Amino acid sequence: MHKAEPLKLGTRGSPLALVQARAVAAALVAAHGWPEDSVEIVPIKTTGDKVQDRPLAEIGGKALWTKELDRALLARDIDFAVHSAKDMESIRPDAIALAAALPRADVRERIIGVSGLDALRPGMRVGTTSPRRAAQLLARVPGLGLVPFRGNVATRLARIDAGEADATLLASAGLARLGMHDVGAPIPVEAMLPAPGQAIIAIEARTGDDTVLGHLAAINDADAMTALVAERAFAAALGGSCHSPVAALAERDGADFHLRAEILSTDGQERIAAEARFSESDAATAAETLARTLLNRASPALRSLFVA
């Protein structure tokens, strides 16, 4: 049974965020057989959207994508919030609960501007402000130039067209959701491991709001949620900031899950990778153990990028 009052879905207002919000609204309406207008999309501008000219790491990190949505959620201006899981801090307020994850899209990165990773040469310029992407690229091609490249997907593509850099990297999932299925070349995860949460749309609601949490449970994808729990527990256990180059990918493998992860120095010179197998019930503990293993193998300098 659905009440007359629509459920309010909070989202950022970027084109990608709005597509993702519509996907969540459509999934909810379909799962419950509700009328179209039973979910209202409420776009909310975040600090991350307002400040476009500086790297995220410099202006305060991932909280800038969530703060205004958190506030609206706790003030009951919205009933739940939709996020790119990749953009969420690894530690979230206790009053906010991870309610559901949509089925994961293509986890791969795509390279735009050149034919593939192998085409990159020292001295070429790649546009990115992601410490992970920068470090992964520098690990492969020392001497690569990096230019700061923020802004939404369309802006970044326009900057390549304008010659501001030779290449850039974007998540395949975001491009596909924007209808750009053929832009750039996909990079195998073996060559470039994605960010924790990449290609997962996550939904948060108020802790204890059992009505809303119950509605959202109907659209949860159990495998995506398990992967997300593992990847986020890994990132949280590392204790890094948005300056710390971290990659992690958990995937179902038969009855179990397989987690691959790596941490890198900012210049890509040091790269520590490891993997683990785990069952659904111990996603978080297995990921925390893997994080400690990686930190133990890291040099003091690399470790200092993580544990305070």
Ligand X SMILES: NCc1[nH]cc(CCC(=O)O)c1CC(=O)O
Q: Is 140 helix (H, G, I), strand (E, B) or coil?
A: helix
Angstrom distance (rounded) from CA 278 to CA 158: 42
Catalytic residues: 87
Using CB under 6 A as the binding rule, the residues of this chain from 70 to 129 that contact ligand X are: 84, 86-87
Summary count for the chain: helices (H), strands (E): 11, 13
Please, which residue, 170 or 291, has the CB nearer to ligand X?
A: 170
Q: Which residue is nearest to ligand X (CB)?
A: 174
Place of tokens 């179990």: 256
Q: What is the DSSP string of 200-253?
A: -EEEEEETT-HHHHHHHHTT--HHHHHHHHHHHHHHHHHT--TTS-EEEEEEEE
Angstrom distance (rounded) from CA 216 to CA 241: 29
Please, which residue, 6 or 148, has the CB nearer to ligand X?
A: 148
From 10, 113, 174, 240, residue interacting with ligand X (rule: CB under 6 A): 174
Q: How many CA atoms lie within 13 A of 213 on its CB side?
A: 11
The minimum distance between CB 87 and ligand X, in angstroms, equals 5
The minimum distance between CB 171 and ligand X, in angstroms, equals 4
**Binding range to ligand X, per CB under 6 A, among 115-123, 165-173, 277-285, 299-307:** 165-173
- Pairing of β 145-147 and β 125-127: parallel
Does 196 interact with ligand X (rule: CB under 6 A)?
no
Does 198 interact with ligand X (rule: CB under 6 A)?
yes
Does 48 interact with ligand X (rule: CB under 6 A)?
no
Does 235 interact with ligand X (rule: CB under 6 A)?
no
Angstrom distance (rounded) from CA 277 to CA 207: 30
Find out whether 76 and 174 touch, Cβ atoms under 8 Å. Answer: no
The minimum distance between CB 221 and ligand X, in angstroms, equals 14
Please, which residue, 95 or 154, has the CB nearer to ligand X?
A: 154
The minimum distance between CB 301 and ligand X, in angstroms, equals 26
Size of the site for ligand X (CB under 6 A): 10
Does 173 interact with ligand X (rule: CB under 6 A)?
yes
Binding site for ligand X (CB under 6 A): 84, 86-87, 153, 170-171, 173-174, 198-199
